[in-house]
Structure 1
Amino acid sequence: METKIQIKPITNEQEFAEANELIELLLECPEGSEEEKILEAVTILASEYEKKNYSLPKPNPIEAIRYRMAELQLSQKDVAKYFGGENRVSEVLNGKRQLSLKMIKNLHQNLGISANSLISM
């Protein structure tokens, strides 16, 4: 039996927690799938709720990526496959390009960077 996911604004902590659980579950979904569309919508809603309700600044996604690269001793060339090429790595790390959903999924799955750290860009 298939469970229907209802997309709606997040208005309280319980809904926010549920949205974050759903985001974590859907990060493994296939590209171009209906699940990926749901992932994108829920991510946007969770991000908006977080902006409105949390005064602490989120970690900068670029700093999170640089930190993890340093921690794993990876070069831009080493992580290029997660961004779609070396030029894109450079563009993201220099703030000239936003992270795409595909990049966020790749970085989360392959480098273990928290999706929440990557979403706030």
Structure 2
Amino acid sequence: MATDLKPVRSEADYEAALAEVERLWGAKSGTPKGDRLDVLATLIEVYEEKHHRMDPPDPIEAIKFRMEQQGLSRKDLEPIIGTRGRVAEVLNRRRGLSIEMIRNLHEQLGISAEVLIRPTRQDEAA
């Protein structure tokens, strides 16, 4: 087994920890290998939280991503968002999402309401 555990402080430490986790993957819980896997996973998680943090997606990007995933067109959004013009305004960032639109997008497309209520990139610049 590898050397003593130490904090993950650099990208090299991070890469080494990931490689060891891959080797230990599937180790039985409660065994020395399983315990080492648990500790390494925790160390990696702390490092990623600090250095590889991902912000939630922009609401419009989230809508476009879900459209692509589900093969939806702008026309498919009309019952959810409103008229063809309204759909265009929203997707082109000229109109914000209303509470009703957010509810509909969440319920019908499964997009997280937390993502949809975030300011769009255009709003953040203002």
Q: Deviations over 1:62-111 (max 9, x none)?
A: 00000000000000001111111111111011010000000000000000
Unaligned runs of 5+ in 2: 1-52, 120-126
Alignment: residue pair count? 67
Q: Any unmatched runs of 5+ in structure 1?
A: 1-54
1:80 matches 2:78 = yes
> For 1:1-121, what aligned pairs fall within 5 Å after superposition?
57-121=55-119
Instruction: Report % sequence identity.
Output: 51
TM-score (norm 1): 0.52
- The CA distance in 2 between the partners of 1:57 and 1:112, in whole Å, is 19
Two-structure CA RMSD over aligned residues (Å): 1.4
User: Where has structure 1 moved over 4 Å in runs of 4 or more?
Assistant: none
Tell me the CA shift for residue 56 of structure 1: 5.8
TM-score for the superposition, normalised by structure 2: 0.50
**Alpha-carbon distance in 1 for matches of 2:106, 2:89:** 19
Secondary structure (helix, strand or coil) at the match of 1:92 reads helix
Give 1:59 shift: 1.2
